[in-house]
Structure 1
Amino acid sequence: MEFTGFPVAALDFYDDLEMENTKAFWEAHKQVYLESVRRPIEALAAALAPQFGAAKIFRPHRDVRFRADKTPYKTHQGMFVAVAPRTGWYFEISPRGTRVGAGFYEASGPRLAAVRAAIDDDKSGKALARLVRRYEKDGWEIGGDQLKTAPRGYTVDHPRIELLRHKQLFVGRPYGFEADALGADLVERVRTDWEALRPLLTWLTTQPKPEE
């Protein structure tokens, strides 16, 4: 299956879903989702798989069991290529267009402690700080939930306190509706940007050393 891009109908579908997030709307427009969103993202995943690995394409239904917001469907479609638990490359299409990113999106206590220990270490921590500065200089956005103060065991004047505060850390950028954000050229843009993010994932999978 060759990737030929996302049709405008994909954006229209999510625009409308944001306005009417109901089972009735979904059932009436399910074929639009399958043809304009699901099939193109499966083709995109297949095109990227030889270089990055198989992607998980997220289900469209929300898990509302423990949420106050009971709207049943996600208003975006994402896919994720894992290189470690909850760590890897990400792609998304939504009413705001497309975007890419990479990083770790959730960490257990021991995993997060290992990441912070690697940030604290002068050699590995400075290497990550250099990476992050380079991404920022190149126009990437640095994201992820952060503590408002220093994590336990670290001081607020630590030279890498901003990185230590992260409970998640990901680097990404929106493509929006640019010429190569939706069409057939999108696959090359994602491929280039995911490759640019590989050093971040290499750091995240080699530098943190969980305690035995």
Structure 2
Amino acid sequence: MSTSATSPVAFSGFPHGALDFYAGLEADNSKAYWTEHKQQWEHDVREPMLALVDALEDEFGEAKLFRPNRDIRFSADKSPYKTHLGAFAATHPGCGYYVEISATGLKAGGGFHAHATTQTARLRQAVVSESTGPQLEQLLAAARGSGFEVLGEKVRTTPRGYAADHPRIETLRHKELMLIRDFGSPRWLETTQALDEVRGAWQALRPLNEWFSEHVGPA
């Protein structure tokens, strides 16, 4: 689940207090810490993130902020809070643009996060196709060259029904494809340049997201 709201102010950067908040949360992931520092989270983390996605909405659509608390029902880790705040602007369920702030700084990216096995099946069919697979490889290579890391759950061996020596076997192993550019915590993080950097990252991934929309589609 996620939350969204209208941003009351223009984006001016992420205060260093955002990183400090999450550094403290990593050291003490407790309700007591959260309660004591909630105002800092609101002012230094949530409000700037809302302002950031509000500034990007006209170009990329509405983004929603993920909830700060973790779903611990089926997890061995019972830490109650996430150690980052993320936001996602969906082009369709499972595909879109992502931004995150944490103790280590800013990340931005996007791509395809599988919601159903049918989506993964369509992804792999498009990867093996000679009309669409090479195009995807070119888009992924361009993204890597621009500083993105290719992430996403994948199988360790060969997906059932595909040849182990397929020229695009590494991509075929993926159940989903997500790309992230890790900016870290440069000085411009506290300025409006952070907006420009996230916008640039999302623009760079637009051709990939269009590929996913066309060839993978919703669940």
Question: If the TM-score is normalised by the length of the shorter chain, which range does it land in?
Answer: over 0.9
Aligned twin of 2:159: 151
The answer to whether structure 1 residue 162 and structure 2 residue 170 are counterparts is: yes
1 CA distance for matches of 2:111 and 2:119? 14
* CA displacement, residues 111-141 of structure 1 (integer Å, 9 cap, x when unaligned): 1101110111001001001111111222221
8 Å contact from structure 2 (residues 181, 201) kept in 1: no
User: What is the SS of the residue equivalent to 1:122?
Assistant: coil
Deviation at 1:209, TM superposition (A): 6.8
1 CA distance for matches of 2:79 and 2:216? 38
2:44 to 22, 36, 39: 36
8 Å contact from structure 1 (residues 107, 167) kept in 2: no
TM-score when scaled to structure 2? Answer: 0.93
Q: Percent identity?
A: 45
User: Closer, same or farther in 2 for the Cα pair 1:5/1:164, shift >3 Å?
Assistant: same
Aligned twin of 2:123: 115
1:86 to 84, 94, 111: 94
TM-score when scaled to structure 1? Answer: 0.96
User: Closer, same or farther in 2 for the Cα pair 1:33/1:209, shift >3 Å?
Assistant: closer
1:9 to 17, 28, 35: 17
2:184 to 172, 176, 180: 176
Number of residue-to-residue matches in the alignment: 211
Aligned twin of 1:68: 76
8 Å contact from structure 1 (residues 23, 72) kept in 2: yes
2 CA distance for matches of 1:137 and 1:31? 40
Aligned twin of 2:212: 204
Unaligned runs of 5+ in 1: none
8 Å contact from structure 1 (residues 107, 168) kept in 2: no
Aligned twin of 2:3: none
2 CA distance for matches of 1:91 and 1:171? 11
1:142 to 150, 165, 171: 150
1 CA distance for matches of 2:124 and 2:217? 10
8 Å contact from structure 1 (residues 150, 156) kept in 2: yes
2:136 to 128, 132, 145: 128
2 CA distance for matches of 1:209 and 1:27? 41
1 CA distance for matches of 2:81 and 2:183? 23
Deviation at 1:89, TM superposition (A): 0.5
2 CA distance for matches of 1:139 and 1:5? 22
The answer to whether structure 1 residue 59 and structure 2 residue 67 are counterparts is: yes
Deviation at 1:164, TM superposition (A): 0.5
Q: Which moved more, 1:150-159 or 1:201-210?
A: 201-210
1 CA distance for matches of 2:63 and 2:88? 5
